[in-house]
Amino acid sequence: MTYTPHDYQQYASDFIEQHPVAAVLLQMGLGKTVITLTALSNLLFDSFLVRKVLIIAPLRVARDTWPAEIGKWDHLGDLIPSVAVGSTAERLTALERKADLYIINRENVQWLIEESALPFDFDMVVVDELSSFKNHRSKRFRALMKRRPLIKRIVGLTGTPASNGLIDLWAQFKLLDKGVRLGRFIGAYRDAYFRPDKRNGQIVFSYKPAPGAEERIYQAIEDITISMKASDHIKMPELVSTEYRVALDDDERAVYEKLRKELVLDAAGGQVTAANAASLSGKLLQLANGAVYTDDRNIISIHERKLGALEDLIEAANGQSVLVAYWFKHDLARITGRLEKFSVSFSTLDTSESLMRWNKGKLQVGLIHPASAGHGLNLQGGGSFLVWFGLTWSLELYQQTVARLWRQGQKSETVVVQHIITEKTIDDRIMQVLSGKAQTQDALIEAVKAELIGGTQ
């Protein structure tokens, strides 16, 4: 296929070529993979500034998306990729093969650097989903920082750099510029830009930006950062976000309230105990979905309100494909059981074959877990209707999952995102929190958004 880049795509590719250190904050659907590959091709074969490239990505994106994009576009025909996923032997074989691009999943970064015994001779690194390196204590972050001095060029790609607030930015930019812009140490970054928020005596649980801090952070990183929103540069489908609300009956409400207030629930299937606030949050979220794990990992079914709602929504789709996002394993088991009775074609989207069947329209229902299928997968070919059976606290996973359908290449003029909400439960709070975090995320994107001269194609 012939690649005719939009103005913003050409701008972004040029930015990567011109900046040895680049943070490319491209909102989902703008084609960050082909943008980056175009720049890599030019750096390898035109300017000869790069010899060997390592691409780090989520597993399925590494395995499926990057190789598929290389094979899709005519101008990338000279690029030779080698995908290093799978068993240790398969990864070693792929990394020893002669290629231009070596693609590895992020879970194996530590293995590559500390265990593989292979030389780290990559002169350029691309981190797809830079936000997955936001934890400076993680093994993958520490391992890659050991080799950062050897890397001549580095690019960080993400659409959600500050999903949990601006505190997330420090580790990501430390990886890129070795601490030049936001400081070498997280403590100094906090002292410079934040104030304690929630605390218990001397123990600080969270931080909030100090007055004027957001603007100062944006100014500090703007010289190596390009940010674009899809709605600014391409005609996106209309995104319709709605709620399908269900209500608990008196007995079901009593079970929910007992656990919420007393942190303990005794039932025929066993006892459910919430040890702390985080545990309680998870248990209440399970209850809102209809079932809960006991302390010994049995499953207690409480209600089928959301299952009935899901069945209604699939029927209302009238044969159109429906993507369903679930969170807990018992959710998947219960959804699968209901779909089997409903006699529809369905599959979890966790293999190359299932992804292909979905995009070819051969599945009426596709089941995805946001943590494993949220990043980078192109699912817009299979449908335009997403149902959230169970919600997530993570804005990043939420936005990325929505963007599997609401993106460039979506043929439908409208993408519908339906949230099944159990009224007067933690579901309502999660929706509020996701909305609040989105405001901080949007502020960052706006602050460093690229200004292009002229219109877009």
328 and 282 share a domain? no
- Number of structural domains (the chain) is 3
* Torsional sign, CA 436, 441, 442, 444: positive
CATH code of residue 418: 3.40.50.300
**Per-residue pLDDT, 400:** 86
Give the Cβ contact number of residue 117 at 10 Å. 7
* 270-273 vs 264-267, strand pairing mode: antiparallel
Task: Tell me whether residue 401 is in a domain.
Answer: yes
**Per-residue pLDDT, 201:** 77
Sheet holding 124-128, edge to edge: 81-84, 101-105, 53-57, 124-128, 153-158, 21-26, 225-228
15 and 102 share a domain? yes
3-state helix, strand, coil in the chain (%, to 5): 45, 20, 35
- Average pLDDT value for residue range 89-114: 96
Tokens of 187: 């403590």
Contact in structure between 227 and 448 (CB atoms under 8 Å): yes
CA 255 distance to own-chain centroid = 33
210 and 69 share a domain? yes
pLDDT at 451 over 60: no
101 and 138 share a domain? yes
Contact in structure between 106 and 58 (CB atoms under 8 Å): yes
CA count, 13 A, side-chain hemisphere, 144:
34
Task: Tell me whether residue 58 is in a domain.
Answer: yes
Full-model pTM: 0.65
Task: Tell me whether residue 457 is in a domain.
Answer: no
344 and 197 share a domain? no
27 and 171 share a domain? yes
188 and 265 share a domain? no
What is the average pLDDT score of the chain?
87
Confidence label for 442 from pLDDT (cuts 50, 70 and 90): low
In degrees, to the nearest 5, what angle opens at C-alpha 224 toward C-alphas 48 and 456?
85
190 and 65 share a domain? yes
Out of 302, 323, 342, pick the residue that ends a domain. 302
Confidence label for 96 from pLDDT (cuts 50, 70 and 90): very high
**Per-residue pLDDT, 453:** 44
User: Cα Rg for the chain, rounded, in angstroms?
Assistant: 23
CATH code of residue 42: 3.40.50.10810
Give me the helices (H) in 155-249, please. 169-177, 186-193, 213-221, 230-233
- Average pLDDT value for residue range 18-27: 91
pLDDT at 199 over 90: no
Q: What is the domain range of residue 253? A: 249-302
Structure confidence by residue, pLDDT tens digits, 66-76: 998 899 899 99
CA gap 43, 22 in Å, rounded? 14
Contact in structure between 15 and 25 (CB atoms under 8 Å): no
**Per-residue pLDDT, 231:** 66
122 and 108 share a domain? yes
50 and 62 share a domain? yes
200 and 60 share a domain? yes
Per-residue exposure over 128-161, b if at least 16 CB sit within 10 Å of its own CB, e if not: bbbbbbbebebebbebbbebeeebebbbbbbbbb
167 and 258 share a domain? no
pLDDT at 43 over 50: yes
